[in-house]
Structure 1
Amino acid sequence: MKSLPTLAKPLLVSFTIIIILSGIAAIYFSNASILLIPVMCSIGLYCIFDYEFVYYVLIFTLPLSKEFPIIGNSNLSLPSEGLIIVLAFIYIISFIFQRKCDLDLLKDPMIIILLLLYFWAVFEYPFSIEKLKTIKYIIAKTLYYLVFLFLTFTIIRSKHDLQKFIYAYTAGLFIGVLYTIFLHAADGFSFENINYISSIIFVNHVFYATVIGIGIPLTWFLLKTTPKFSVKRSFYLKFLLILFLFALITSYTRGSWLALIVCIIFYILLNYKKVTLTISIGVIVITCFVGYLFNNDRYLDYASDYTTTIFHEGDIEGHLAATYSLKDVSGMERIYRWVAGANMVKEKPIMGSGPGTFYPEYKKFAIDRFRTYVSNNPEQSTTHNNFLLFLTEQGLVGFLLFTTLVIMVFIRGSKIYNECSDPDTKHLTAGFYLAFTSIIVCMMFSDFTESDKVGSFFLVSITILAKINQWNKENQLKSL
């Protein structure tokens, strides 16, 4: 249990006052239900004095949460985002009374860039074209940073905490994946219905495959830290790994298949210390390719034919054939939005349209030649590329900060991995590093940074790499 003794006195006094005021109010208003307030406060007190338990409950629920409408067009993912709000409040209370912050966190270059990205979004607020959407974005980011950055850095104190974290996350994922597989099996593992079946828990098949892509490296490297005499634990993790691999294959999600291949390649690069060279080559190749497409408007040559773009041709083979021939509607719809995003950048290259504003703005900049029959976009999704999303909404500064952050995590994460002296810590580092890698590959084709299922893990991966870096430095000082 994580006790907060310095909070005991002020919380006890506050709780006593609440009980007295609730009793007076219940008598005055002749409403006994008011007495439920102290009950709710007592639950809140328990959460405060044992917030680590609540934190791991949150990690367990991340893969299982569902979105529910609340006010207007806003949604809340429950129970995860409800727990995020509770934990953010707890962190603020503990900080006010204890005034403790691990300064090593604020010294890490990855965290500095992450915080600069947050403050740039705040700075953008006055310039946003949709200030309500931007303020919602900032509030959500604030809560996520408090929990998945600052609180996570506080709670994770050893490799055993990392193992506990992975067990909590993969246990929740196991329940969601097993349930989805049972439903999918009843449907004969059909290609055409996987999106609907997976949406019952995972929003859609892309989210389903992406969270599985996070779970696979975590499970694999947790297995490598499990002692050989722990037969039951090893069997459970092996079963989990096979289940996740099967689910990934039957998710029929090309981006996540690619992400798994990239993770395998990056693990080899990690061990041969070739990540920096590979990232440098990758940045040059992508820059040249984008420059080639937009030089003399060459991208117009790849416009889709509205009448021939298709979702699939009855099965996965037809879907892959449509992808190869540039007739797949999901691929062509991505190009439609990427072109619209590129035109938005021309309009506001430095500041962008403002955080959270791509959807209401992009159709003004779209080119009909790239339009598909799903371009009406009733689900209000955005660019299907997080790098372009930052460029359109937060301008060149936001894009450069986000891109710098990703490159830095890849390069520094590789260094952190190779500096680990403890084999178990090294395996766990690889697990979180490759989970981050999988997320980034999927982010090239989808939007995840604002979601509780994936965006949270984006922050967690960076935070844990920063924490392991702190451990490495402490071990190096001890060895002197």
Structure 2
Amino acid sequence: MPPVSDIAGPGVPGSGSYPLRVFYAYAVLSLGSLALGIGMERYYLAGLPVLLWVMAQAFLDFRPLFWLLLATIPLSTNITLPGGFGTDLPTEPLAIGLTGLLVLHAARHWPSYRAGAFGHPIAWLLYLHVGWILFTTLFSAIPLVSVKFSLAKLWYVGAYFLVPLLLIDSPRRVKVMVHCILWPLLFVAVQTLVRHAAYGFSFAMQYKTMHPFMSEHVSYAGSLATFTPWLFYLRWWLREKGLSTWWWSFLLLPVWLAAVYFSFTRAAFVALALASGAYLLIRWNLLRPALVLALAGALGLAVYFVRNDRYLEYAPNFDSTISHERFDNLISATYKLEDISTMERFYRWVAAGHMVPYRPYTGWGPGNFLDNYRGYTVNSFRTYVSDNEGRSGIHSYYLMTLVEQGYPGLIIFLLYAFGALFIAERMYHRQSDPAARHAIMAAMLAMLVVDAFNILNDQMETDKVGAQYLLNLAVLINMGIFRSRSEGV
């Protein structure tokens, strides 16, 4: 495999003319596979030459495979394999393959890797978080579930953080990343809007419009909201370069915001509003005290509900807590505590609170909330959907981390999430290159959107939202240490 300088450089490693016999051999193999597939009625055999070409290309230069992975994030679909094992196609196989290629590449070229990137303080915070996940797997209530969770975490970090840390090392490549995700995600948004329009933008029928690309509306809204800051980055880039086509970004934004609105996801609205305020806080260098105050407020709220079992006063009325057919009714029901999705969250959060004291230090093990929470629920919080036939999770990543990884796990995750933003704010104000500086801002705002989503959802381990979070983390590091040629580097 080529060294880092070749992988990250503008040229294609090993470029040049291949012997003509290589092309002849490939042509013969392709025709032979096609004939064999038709003759044996095993048509998949015709795809073997393509598979071989992809494998060969991956070993020669895995940049195209990485860009392909980014482009398939919005388009991937979740399937359940025999045995009940679920996977995302094609992103998960691509992520596993890229992680394996990175390991092989690093084994040979590690001395040439940039220590400033792979040994950055933000990177070490992520390594600590992943390390604790692996450690708590050893004490898991159901080890097999935790092992699967931990393996998935490893190739997520490999494909969506370490590989981009190696490849997205300049503002120009940041722009390539933005385009790779933007256009497939815009396609998903437009086709969803068109299909949704056929139902009169009905709140009740919205779930039918996004398959097979999105499993449910939260993933869809999370993907759109998380990527929104990059639309403004792209608009800035187009105007900065003096391109006459910059005006199309004005046409794109209303379509994008319409897609977010008709996702009918309250968390998306709140997250984007918070990101708008965070933009000013970052510009004024006030994000750190604001986040500390937010954390203190969240801790105070938790103490309020727990003390003297005050949370029991908010138990829902089983008969009045129902699902709603109109979005305005849902909003009204939310603050009246009569919305079924909100109260079902309370049902699971109360169970989570009862689980924590039994395993406060190492938790129940990564991925183990779902299979263990039923014995800790309180019937007064039960709703019509508490049977949980769809096996949805806890709907709060912070609380899920506390239950599954114990108090140390939650503290480490908060250090990782907040610490990355603290460091990034400092890098933003020190970065003199305009393109890198704007990229840091976009990445920070995108991460803040996910952090806000994590309060009421658990999308961090999905390829729709969690993958974007790790990508933005890599962008923060690389753009923070980036120095333009004008600075003599």
TM-score, length basis structure 1 = 0.90
Distance 2:47 2:266 in 1: 50
| 2:94 is aligned with 1:83 | yes
Mean CA deviation greater in 274-283 or 233-242: 233-242
- In 2, Cα distance between equivalents of 1:230 and 1:71: 54
CA distance in 2, matches of 1:266, 1:328: 29
Query: Counterparts of 2:320 and 2:116 in 1: how far apart (Å)?
Result: 56
1:60-97 Cα offsets, whole Å, 9 max, x none, are 11011101122412111111112112211221222233
**1:371 is matched with which residue?**
382
Deviation at 1:233, TM superposition (A): 3.8
The amino acid of 2:214's aligned partner reads F
SS in 2 for 1:360: coil
1:132 matched to 2:141? no
- Counterparts of 2:293 and 2:312 in 1: how far apart (Å)? 27
1:175-186 equivalences in 2 (<5 Å): 175-186=187-198
Q: Secondary structure at the match of 2:212?
A: helix
Matched, 1:420 2:435: no
Cα drift, residue 249 of structure 1 = 1.1
- Deviation for aligned residue 1:409: 1.9
CA distance in 1, matches of 2:459, 2:234: 25
1:343 is matched with 354
Question: Out of 327, 349, 363, which is 1:352 matched to?
Answer: 363
Deviations 1:89-143 (A, max 9, x none): 2212222332343322343222112111111111122211111111111111111
1:268-301 per-position Cα deviation (integer Å, ceiling 9, x unaligned): 1011111111111111111111111101110111
- Counterpart contact for 2:118–2:165, Cα < 8 Å: no
1:105-124 equivalence runs, <5 A: 105-124=117-136
Unmatched 5+ residue regions in structure 1?
none
Q: Any conservation in 1 of the 2:436–2:480 contact (CA below 8 Å)? A: no
> Which residue in 2 is equivalent to 1:54?
65
Q: Is the 8 A contact 1:222 1:427 kept in 2?
A: no
Instruction: Spell out, residue by residue over 1:302-335, the C-alpha distance to the aligned partner (whole angstroms, 9 max, x if none).
Output: 11111110211x4222111101111000000111
Conservation of the 8 A alpha-carbon contact between 1:222 and 1:428 = no
Aligned to 1:322: 333
Contact 1:173–1:215 (Cα < 8 Å) also in 2: no
Q: Give the distance between the partners of 2:273 and 2:476, measured in 1 at CA.
A: 22
Contact 1:218 1:431 in 2 (8 A): yes
Aligned-pair identity in percent equals 26
2-structure distance, mates of 1:222, 1:416? 20
Q: Going by fraction, where is helix more abundant, 1 or 2?
A: 1
Question: 2:274·2:449 contact (CA, 8 Å) conserved in 1?
Answer: yes
Q: Secondary structure at the match of 1:375?
A: coil
Paired position in structure 1 for 2:314:
302
1:161 and 2:158 aligned: no
Within 2, Cα distance between the matches of 1:42 and 1:431? 36
Q: Is the Cα–Cα contact under 8 Å of residues 352 and 394 in structure 1 kept in the other structure? A: yes
Distance 1:334 1:4, change over 3 A: farther
- 8 Å Cα contact 1:228/1:234 also seen in 2: no
**Contact 1:349-1:395 at 8 Å conserved across structures:** yes
Question: Which residue is equivalent to 2:110?
Answer: 99
CA distance in 2, matches of 1:231, 1:459: 30
Distance 1:158 1:333, change over 3 A: same
Aligned to 2:264: 252
8 Å CA contact 2:437, 2:479 repeated in 1: no
Q: 1:129 is aligned with what amino acid?
A: A
Give the total of aligned pairs: 461
* Aligned residues of 2:223 and 2:464 also touching (Cα < 8 A): yes
Change (3 A) 1:229 1:280: closer
Which residue number in structure 2 is paired with residue 449 of structure 1?
460
| Distance change >3 Å, CA 452–CA 270, structure 1 → 2 | same
Q: Normalised by the size of structure 2, how large is the TM-score?
A: 0.88
Cα contact 2:169–2:479 (8 A) shared by 1:
no
- Relative distance call for 1:47 and 1:233 in structure 2 (3 A) is farther
Tell me the CA shift for residue 200 of structure 1.
3.5
Q: Does 1:217 align with 2:229?
A: yes
* Residue aligning to 1:3: 13
Task: Answer yes or no: is the 8 Å Cα contact 1:199–1:205 preserved in 2.
Answer: no
Per the TM alignment, residue 169 of structure 1 is displaced from its structure 2 partner at its CA by 0.7
Q: Which of the numbers 419, 422, 425 marks the counterpart of 1:411? A: 422
Q: Aligned letter for 1:305?
A: N
The one-letter code matched in structure 2 to 1:303 is: A
Q: Does 1:148 align with 2:160?
A: yes
Other-structure match for 1:240: 252
CA positional deviation for 1:232: 5.7
Say which is worse superposed, 350-359 or 141-150, in terms of deviation.
141-150
